[in-house]
Amino acid sequence: MKNCWKILEIEETTDVDIIRRAYLALLPSFHPETDPQGFKQLRQAYEEALRIAQSPAKSVWQPEEYEVAEHEILLAFRALLASDSERFLPSAWQRFIQKLNYCSMEEIDELRWSLCTIAMNTAHLSFECVVLLAERLRWLQEENVGEIDEEELESFLYAIAKGNVFNFQTILHLPVAVQNDTIDFYQMFARIWSSHPEWLTLYLAQHRAVIIPDDAKLHRNLLRWYSAGRLGIPELLDYARSWREAEPDNEDARYYEYAQRVYCGEGESLLAELCDYWHEYPSTQADALMLQWCRQHRVDYYPLVVMMIEARELVNDQGKPLLYVPGDSARTRFHLYEILSDEKLSALGRSLVEMVLHKGRKPRISLKRDTEHTLWPLYLVAKQLVQASQPTEESLMPIVSRLDAEDRCPLEALIIRRLLIQAANFTEKQTVEPEPQPQPMPVADGGPGCLGIIKIIFYIFIFAGLIGKILHLFG
């Protein structure tokens, strides 16, 4: 497939970095869903170009008859890099470095940058190994006399300091072709993550079998990369669990275990643990996991969870809840717009979402199927709060009684407690810190003015009693 260079829009080269940059630049133009044929051709061209660049004829240099034979150290170095069994072994590199001890200082000066050039042009290079040679030849300390481009050298030394994406020794038992393909995949993965994270999902959409090396550093990176893309990697679930068990106080270990269990589709068996995690370790990451779980398994809880998250965030400097109208925050509206198009959302849930998003619109008349919905009592209180009206004792008592119900789930309990806190806070603000009201005209003989005062006193008693019941429940 010699036209691979034409597809990649570059001249024929053995520089793997140039090939990868060309592939990355063209990747967004060929989406596997909209242009599967173009995407396939681009991928084939990329793989063919890599094969040409890394073929034995290219990677193992052989002198022509008219050329002067290379120094034996350079030949030994090329042989080491071409060795299927030793190229990633630090001990083999140490044996090679010992040969330099027999060279004179003048020879070392002559070989220093020649060895560096060979290493830079090697496609699959273990930085764990080459750092030993870099320290021996002082590539970082010695002055480059112009034999190597300064920027390329700086980039190479930075890559050495950063290290490989995983320990290449873990794949030495595999065939060489599989080793190289595995290295290419994860190096490209890491490059996309650091430079173009928005392409991550597109890269992972490629259907291919890939080895997961037994390397803890790589496993943790994969958990981070897949979780960032909201993707599951079932092969690492056991590792995620063992990581959290080994480091129970590590926030990353805790988050990635729950993230992967959510993104791998675990259902009801996860809910109790997920609710405890959300309650004990509040964060936007925990919020995202809770919402994702709801979208997968209980869509009608989603709008209520969005309101629950908003209520937890809106507190003052002392941590006390603020009085607010639900649905006014940009984050809340964004989450509700996301769920509005979900076909699994019931009419009851859609009604609340539309009420929040379209302020002033007359609420939809409740249908019989709404009142028979298991979440109807929660939605009724939520709608009253959205309308900035005081939830009545009649509407609150059914959800209070649900706290002791045997069939209530942990998520329902969290939502109920948050609704009760909002209702109590709303009542407290209305009774203790009432809004300034225009003074009524004096009315004699128990007219409308007196009636209004009586109503206020009546509501104070009702809601004071309700607050007492709520505080008793949380006591």
**φ and ψ of 86, to 5 deg:** -120, -10
Residue 114 pLDDT level (bands cut at 50, 70, 90): very high
Question: Tokens in use for 428?
Answer: 């407290």
pLDDT at 435 over 90: no
Residue 259 pLDDT level (bands cut at 50, 70, 90): very high
Question: Tokens in use for 218?
Answer: 């790589």
Residue 127 is predicted with a pLDDT of 96
pLDDT at 399 over 70: yes
Which of 336-345, 365-374, 385-394 shows the lowest mean pLDDT across its residues?
Answer: 365-374
- The separation between CA 80 and the C-alpha centre of its own chain, rounded to angstroms, equals 39
151 in the Ramachandran plot: left (φ > 0), alpha (ψ -120 to 50) or beta? Answer: alpha
Residue 285 is predicted with a pLDDT of 95
Question: Tokens in use for 210?
Answer: 């890939």
Q: Can you tell me the distance from the alpha carbon of 380 to that of 416, in angstroms, rounded to the nearest whole number?
A: 12
Rounded-to-5 percentages of helix, strand, coil across the chain: 65, 0, 35
The helix/strand/coil state of 315 is: strand
Residue 439 is predicted with a pLDDT of 46
Cβ pair 197, 227 in contact under 8 A:
no
The contacts of residue 67 (CB under 8 Å, 6+ apart) are: none
**φ and ψ of 73, to 5 deg:** -65, -40
Residue indicated by tokens 């597809």: 7
Q: Can you tell me the distance from the alpha carbon of 4 to that of 48, in angstroms, rounded to the nearest whole number?
A: 7
Residue 459 is predicted with a pLDDT of 45
Question: Tokens in use for 59?
Answer: 């990677």
Task: Considering only CA atoms, give the Rg of the chain.
Answer: 33
Residue 210 is predicted with a pLDDT of 85
Residue 432 is predicted with a pLDDT of 42
Residue 318 pLDDT level (bands cut at 50, 70, 90): low
Residue 56 is predicted with a pLDDT of 46
Domain ranges within the chain, ordered by starting residue: 72-164, 215-289, 298-435
Residue 122 pLDDT level (bands cut at 50, 70, 90): very high
Question: Tokens in use for 78?
Answer: 């090329």
**pTM (2 decimals)?**
0.73
User: Nearest CA to 381 among 398, 359, 363?
Assistant: 398
Q: Which amino acid is located at 279 in the chain? A: H
**pLDDT, average across residues 22-35:** 77
Structure confidence by residue, pLDDT tens digits, 191-201: 888 888 878 77
Structure confidence by residue, pLDDT tens digits, 140-195: 888 877 778 889 999 999 999 999 999 999 999 999 999 999 999 999 888 888 88
Q: Can you tell me the distance from the alpha carbon of 388 to that of 309, in angstroms, rounded to the nearest whole number?
A: 18
Q: Can you tell me the distance from the alpha carbon of 453 to that of 448, in angstroms, rounded to the nearest whole number?
A: 9
What rounded mean pLDDT belongs to the chain?
Answer: 82
Residue 202 is predicted with a pLDDT of 78
User: Nearest CA to 49 among 81, 75, 26, 29?
Assistant: 26
DSSP label at residue 180? H
Q: Can you tell me the distance from the alpha carbon of 183 to that of 290, in angstroms, rounded to the nearest whole number?
A: 35
- Looking at the DSSP bridge assignments, the partners of residue 321 are 315
Residue 41 pLDDT level (bands cut at 50, 70, 90): confident
Cβ count within 10 A of residue 409 = 15
Q: 279-301 in b/e burial notation, b at 16+ Cβ within 10 A?
A: eeeeeebbbbbbbbbbbebbbbb
Residue 96 pLDDT level (bands cut at 50, 70, 90): very high
User: Nearest CA to 295 among 261, 344, 226, 228?
Assistant: 344
